[in-house]
Amino acid sequence: MAIQEDNNGARTPEDGSSHPDASAQEAASEVATTPPPAGGADRGEPPPPSSSPPKEEEDGEEEHMLRMSFLEHLEELRSRLLRSIAGIGVAFLLSLVFANNLWLIVSEPATAALRQLGVKDPRLAQIKPMEVFQIVWIKLPILAAIFLASPWIGYQVWAFIAPGLYRKERRWAGPFVICSAGLFIAGGLFAYFIAFRFGLVFLLGIGRDIHIQPIVSVTEYFDLFVNVTLGVGLVFELPVLVFFLTLLRIVTPGFLLRHSRYAILIIVIIAAIVTPTPDVFNLMLFATPMCLLYFVGIFASYLLILHREGRRFPWVKVLYGLLVAAVLIAGAVWIATTKYGYHFIRQWPFLTR
């Protein structure tokens, strides 16, 4: 094969193919003329991390989730139910010691309502021989045990759902238990001090003007008491339910606000079922707090969204606004008591002439 020289003195074959040494020189020149990457990669340093969170973090969070089969879920549910029942059992034994005192507290709204209606002997009537024993020594301690054991029950509910949450979302265990138990007890107190008393006076006073003497059975009274207190206690869990649905990414605050009119309609229907009387006043007495609790749940879910996005809520401005509102309310109460003859009482509406 003949070899010829080019103008630069490089020797190449006559068929036009380049020599291996020339190819190596061209490759080396390309490498030498290529600019080094920014960020110090020519010094062997790693590239800077990206601002967006890597997917490995989510994968690492999912690794901490407990993977269970359907039967394992059923077994876990059975275990949590047994522990909840055990907690109620312990609270039942404690309530059994104070059964007579508890009955005096439970029967006080009936005594006050009968006395308000002018009944000379405001007592409940025993119709059957066994009903006092069943109510005072069995049913009433169970009702008190449910309220006493509500923090323990809330913890068991959280312990059942926590394995399916991210590790950072499990930090809500304490607020969830405290808020759920606190709202349930607050609902029972609201029913006892406000809603149940107004409903009872209305029901017992219907026949007062048509010569009907109210005689209230122990069983009928306690059944109504249980329905109202437990019903209102469960309804007061609405903020916890809204927050929990947001935590599981099922709903968003915007979705709840857009469909609030349907939620209010459902709340009014539930209030009509729970309310012991058919009048509009008692219906609104139940429905108004439920609507307020619904929007409290939306606010709690909004705080959760802000926490996820790394933003903060302007608490200082809100506290200033609440302080101004409290000052205005206090001023209105002061004017009402000093200039218009109003005074405080122990029951609702707490301010009357």
Among candidate residues 225, 203, 228, 199, the one with its CA nearest the CA of residue 214 = 203
Say what angle helices 280-308 and 238-247 make with each other, to 10 degrees. 30
Q: pLDDT tier at 247 (50, 70, 90 boundaries)? A: confident
349 band by pLDDT with thresholds 50, 70 and 90: low
Q: Is the pLDDT of residue 20 over 70?
A: no
CB 198 within 8 A of CB 232: no
Identify the H or E element spanning 351. Answer: strand 351-352
- Cα angle for residues 180, 182, 186 (degrees, 5° grid): 120
pLDDT tens string 47-59: 544 444 444 444 4
Q: Is residue 293 packed enough to be buried (19+ CB in 10 Å), middle (13-18) or exposed (0-12)?
A: buried
Name the β-bridge partners of 12: 4
Q: How far is CA 19 from CA 3, 10, 11, in A?
A: 10, 9, 8
What's the confidence (pLDDT) of residue 92? Answer: 95
Per residue in 306-323, pLDDT (tens digit) is 888 888 888 888 888 889
Is the pLDDT assigned to residue 45 strictly greater than 90? no
Q: Is the pLDDT of residue 38 over 60?
A: no
Q: Which residue has the higher pLDDT, 214 or 171?
A: 214
CA distance linking residue 257 with residue 265, whole number of Å: 14
Of 154, 124, 313, the closest CA to residue 221 belongs to 124
pLDDT at 208 over 50: yes
Name the average pLDDT for the chain.
Answer: 79
Cis omega (within 30 of 0) for bond into 349: yes
Give the pLDDT score at 25: 52
Is residue 215 over pLDDT 60?
A: yes
pLDDT at 258: 92
User: How many percent of the chain have pLDDT more than 70?
Assistant: 78
DSSP secondary structure code for residue 191 in this structure:
I
Is 244 in contact with 158 (CB distance < 8 Å)?
no
Q: For residue 5, what are the β-bridge partners?
A: 11
What pLDDT, on a 0 to 100 scale, did the predictor assign at position 300? 87
For residue 332, the tally of other CB atoms under 10 A from its CB is 10
pLDDT, tens digit, 9 for 90 and up, residues 262-303: 999 998 888 888 776 667 777 887 888 889 999 999 998 888
Distance between CA atoms of 192 and 225, rounded to whole angstroms?
Answer: 8
Tell if the pTM clears 0.85, that is, is over it.
Answer: no
CA atoms of 88 and 94, how far apart (whole Å): 10
Whether 86 has a pLDDT exceeding 70, the answer reads yes
Q: Which two tokens stand for residue 291?
A: 């609507």
Per residue in 93-141, pLDDT (tens digit) is 999 999 999 999 999 999 988 888 888 888 898 998 899 999 999 999 9
Residue 307, exposed/middle/buried by CB under 10 A (0-12, 13-18, 19+)? middle
pLDDT tens, 134-147?
999 999 999 999 99
Nearest to 115 by CA among 216, 189, 194, 210: 216
The per-residue DSSP string of 136-158 comes to IIIIHHHHHHHHHTHHHHHHHHH
Range of lowest pLDDT (36-50, 172-186, 191-205): 36-50
Question: What does the pLDDT average to over 205-215?
Answer: 81
pLDDT of residue 118: 82
d(CA 146, CA 214): 31
Q: Is the dihedral of CA 39, 42, 43, 48 positive or negative?
A: positive
Q: What is the pLDDT of residues 163-181, one digit of tens each?
A: 777 777 777 777 878 888 9
Please report the pLDDT score of residue 160 as a whole number: 85
Short-list 167, 206, 190, 212, CA closest to 293 = 190
